[in-house]
Amino acid sequence: MLRPQLSQHDCLALFDRDRSTWAEVKFYPDTVTCRRMLRFADWAANFPQNYYAARRNYEAPELSYRELAFMAGMPESTFRSRLKAVYWIDDPQDFSDLELDCYDVEIPALPVPPKERGKCTTYKYAIALADFAAADRIRWECIRAYYSWEVAQAELGRIYGISQATVSRYIDSLNTIKKGIDYEVL
C-alpha cells in the first residue's frame, strides 16, 4: 500500500494540530507522532539552516519570503531553496502497517490559523527537541546513540572523534535540561 509521505512542513502542521496535553503518560501523543518528533529532530540536526527556514516560514506566514530571508540573513533565493520539501518522515522501516493504519497521516484541509500557530504543547516540545538537535549535531547523535543502542561512552567518543569526557558532558547536559525544564513555559 502506498502511503502519503510527509515533508517537514507537513510535520510542523501535524505537531501543531496534536491536542495531547503531556500532563501524564496517558495524555502523551501516539507512538507515530513521538517517532516523527525524533525523525524531525534528526533532520534538524543534519540540516539546521533548512529547519530554521521551515520553522520561520510556518510560524510567520504573514511575512514574505523576502522578509523572512532578510531576518535569516541570507538571499531570498537561498531561503527559498532551503524551504524545498523533503519527504522523509514515513520511512517504511520506522512504522508497521498496523501503526500507520491506526493513525491518520492525511493532512486535514483546514490548517491551523496563523494566530493559533505554535501554541500546541506537542508543537512546542517538537520545536524544543529540534532546536536542541540543530544546535549541535554531534551532541544530538551521541545522545541518540547512547540511549538507543546503549553504546558505551568511550566507544561513542571513538566513533565521533571526541573525548569520553565530552560524551559524558553531552549526556549530563541532557540530564540537566530534563531537571531544569519549566513545563509551564513550554
pLDDT tens-digit profile of 116-138? 777 889 999 999 999 999 999 99
- H/E element, 109: none
Predicted TM-score of the model (pTM): 0.80
Q: How much is the average pLDDT of 27-38? A: 86
pLDDT tens-digit profile of 144-161? 888 887 788 999 999 999
Q: Is the pLDDT of residue 108 over 60?
A: no
Q: What pLDDT is stored for residue 147 in this prediction? A: 83
Which residue, chain included where needed, has cell 534528526? 42
Q: How far apart are CA 62 and CA 17, in angstroms?
A: 19
Q: How far apart are CA 10 and CA 153, in angstroms?
A: 35
Q: Is the pLDDT of residue 91 over 60?
A: no
CA distances from 69 to 37, 43, 51, 148 (A): 26, 21, 13, 36
Cβ distance 139 to 166 under 8 Å? no
